[in-house]
Structure 1
């Protein structure tokens, strides 16, 4: 059967051929916080509309505003092509992307993302420079431009397909997204299996939005996820790393991890960390505690680092490999280095670990053994180490989760709070004040008699 006919049949089955009905929610009947729209965002909207193009706020900013959150990132959808957008903002616009071409309009450090309305791929299926799909259905290129209503049904979830018209404050809804938001329902637009095959990352987005918004994933949207989770293996590790940051550094990591495990998505992000593989004493509790603490730190405005999260998620697999290397005859130190290399290499096949995070993660692991070596000089050296605080936090997690007996963490807590005399006393209590025994040195014995000339 010709490929074009197959695509047309799929479109008919998923209902993409019918034009969606527009519902307009006027200002006064919704609660989107217009006062949160920044001046630069309004400048872009005004610039495009003054030039004769349609332009709307769209996506997460509208969704978040309607459920009572304060939007931070404002995305704009427009009828202008990328080149026309650049013509409107010639000095501060940059076109980016090959798979999904769009415009970045800069105002100092602020970047406003502007995308042209997209359409169904069957509309331009013969132009491989605009539209391309793999044999598995994965979208390789998505630059088929269309109209506002076509753009709405090309978006992923109904809650993300609402448009705000700044000229009169109305919200435009083509897919019943406003009703789904009010019902706290996450629903995929179109045929779920087809949409997940187009972009498997949508399965991760489903888990992320459900956790972030406290929405229920609609049954038809949830049904294919476990079966299709293996499609995440087609996604480059670098892109999955970026998705991991969104999943775990958004303030809802503790809620999203169980969903990733439930829908078999965690297996394709952290295959060594899932419960059925990583089942040593306390390691799953460590993950839960670390994700909870991460959420708390973000809520308090404190910094977090992916290096620490990766160190926790991979701690159990590291212990397994370390034991195995020692059982094969290696001493502890070289066995640890071999285990680190093996675990990080396996993990990098699924989510890449950039060096700026991989090296600190390694140091956090290596410091665990040194924390128990508490002579005065070593303690002062350790506490000055740039990864000491993260290593100390990992030690506390290990104790709280029951992986090791408590005590060492409390000792280091007291040491950090103590003055120099109290620190010396703490080490003395361990016998750490004893001077190391010196090796006897032997002088080179030379003949005391001068050599005969």
Structure 2
């Protein structure tokens, strides 16, 4: 237990709504701790994305204290205390691992039971994934409580798993991806035992729910660490089971790291753009711009390249369509100026985004740099829009069909 005078966290750094929740719990005789990533980030001098509260009050007891409280989740029961439309303070009851032989009366309730056995703060800390995420801030004494050695790991900038890594990764394979994400986001080193655990348990990531993996992948892009994490995942044998057989290459990792730098600079990446970036290298090999191909064939090949990822993660047709349009647009831009359909291409709303991605590709590979500049000038109106070359065959106008005249001269009698 670290007293207030020996740590840097102040109540002024915690938002007003979270403090209200913690103080009401405390006044009613319950423990009220700030838990998880909020404590970690405050100790590192970072601004937390949000704050979570841990308590020994059950979800129903929390609900009875707050009229604006709603209980959510079946497998993991939580209390959400809402303030206005956008602010939610999440309150979780301290939990423990069930004892051997401790099972619910109804076997169908096994998973919900596993996640909703309430316990002490110490038992709750040992259920968490990494030591740096198991630190508590007590609103009563303003002290930091550390049951697992998280403060020592914070000081050493080291990520360590609580418990035996393979066992914890088997419980939840997504922890392997989160371990690499935290190392990249916080610039931490990965503990040797955790690293060996990922090597051994990597195939288990294929058992995780695709929807959850998809959300974790987009978190990598939102935090600007997708390139670094996926590069390390590939080196540790985690990438192919993670993305259903996808094997990245150096050019793709360089492109993702370039996008990450833009994200950290304030230019976020949306999912169709991220999907096209992941597929661009493979698409250019399947459909090189220096090879003449009808647009229908280019569209088909773009769809084939995207199909494994979109099918595995059940990506909506609108998102996959935009990603395909980006790839097709890049092919047409990389073909160069003075191609038929240039005016339509410049008027396509996806063209500026395709050119943006092609520009990122040119930055990391050196390809198409002059061409990217020419297209940007054309889009900005600084360069004339070209017409098809003189030797291009003119498009034949279709003559309207002549109506057949009625030649019958007789009439029915």
Q: TM-score range by the shorter chain?
A: 0.7 to 0.9
RMSD: 3.3
Cα–Cα, structure 1 residues 42 and 414, in superposed 2: closer, same or farther, change >3 Å? same
TM superposition shift of 1:405: 4.3
Take 1:62 and 1:404, find their aligned partners in 2: how far apart are those partners? 45
Equivalent of 1:427 in 386, 398, 408: 386
Query: Equivalent residue of 1:224, what SS?
Result: helix
Give the count of matched residue pairs. Answer: 404
1:385–1:335 CA distance, 2 compared to 1 (3 A): closer
Q: Is the contact between residue 61 and residue 71 of structure 1 (CA under 8 Å) also seen in structure 2?
A: yes
In 2, Cα distance between equivalents of 1:125 and 1:245:
37
Q: Which of 125, 128, 134 does residue 155 from structure 1 map onto? A: 128
Match of 1:394 among 345, 357, 375: 357
Of the three residues 256, 261, 264, the one matched with 2:237 is 264
| Alignment equivalent of 2:162, drawn from 189, 193, 198 | 189
Output the CA distance in 2 between the equivalents of 1:131 and 1:292. Answer: 46
Aligned residue in 2 for 1:94: 70
Q: Deviations over 1:1-43 (max 9, x none)?
A: xxxxxxxxxxxxxxxxxxxxxxx11112112253221001111
Supply the distance in 1 between the matched residues of 2:310 and 2:399 (Cα, whole angstroms). Answer: 50
Q: Per the alignment, do residues 360 and 119 of structure 1 end up closer, same or farther by CA in structure 2, a change over 3 Å counting? A: same
| Structure 2 residue 276 is matched with structure 1 residue 317 | no
Equivalent position SS for 2:21: helix
2:331 paired residue number: 369
How many Å separate the matches in 1 of 2:226 and 2:253? 10
Per the alignment, residue 236 of structure 1 pairs with 209
TM alignment of 1:168-179, pairs within 5 A: 168-179=141-152
> Cα deviation per residue 1:155-186 (whole Å; 9 max; x = unaligned)?
11110000001233211111111111011111
Q: Give per-residue Cα distances to partners, 1:208-232, cap 9 Å, x unaligned.
A: 1111111111111211212211111
Q: Is the deviation greater in 351-360 or in 217-226?
A: 351-360
Distance in 2, Cα, partners of 1:317 & 1:340: 10
Q: Does the CA-based 8 Å contact 2:258-2:364 persist in structure 1?
A: no
Identify the range of structure 1 (116-125 vs 195-204) with the bigger mean alpha-carbon deviation.
116-125
1:296-349: per-residue Cα shift (whole Å, max 9, x none)? 3332323321211111112233455558xxx9xxx7444444434444342246
More moved, 122-131 vs 244-253: 122-131
Q: Counterpart in 2 of 1:16?
A: none
Q: In structure 2, what is the Cα distance between the partners aligned to 1:104 and 1:202?
A: 24
CA 1:189–1:442 in structure 2 vs 1: closer, same or farther (change >3 Å)?
closer
C-alpha contact (below 8 Å) 1:399/1:406 kept by paired residues: yes
Of residues 310-319 and 434-443 in structure 1, the stretch that sits farther from structure 2 once superposed is: 434-443
* Structure 2 CA distance for partners of 1:435 and 1:314, relative to 1, 3 Å: closer
Unaligned runs of 5+ in 1: 1-23, 134-138, 279-283
Distance 1:124 1:100, change over 3 A: farther
Moved more, 31-40 or 226-235: 31-40
Matched residue of 2:6: which SS? coil
CA distance in 1 between partners of 2:20 and 2:303 (Å): 51
Corresponding residue number in structure 2 for 1:297: 262
Alpha-carbon distance, 1:264 to partner? 1.7
User: Which residue matches 1:105?
Assistant: 81
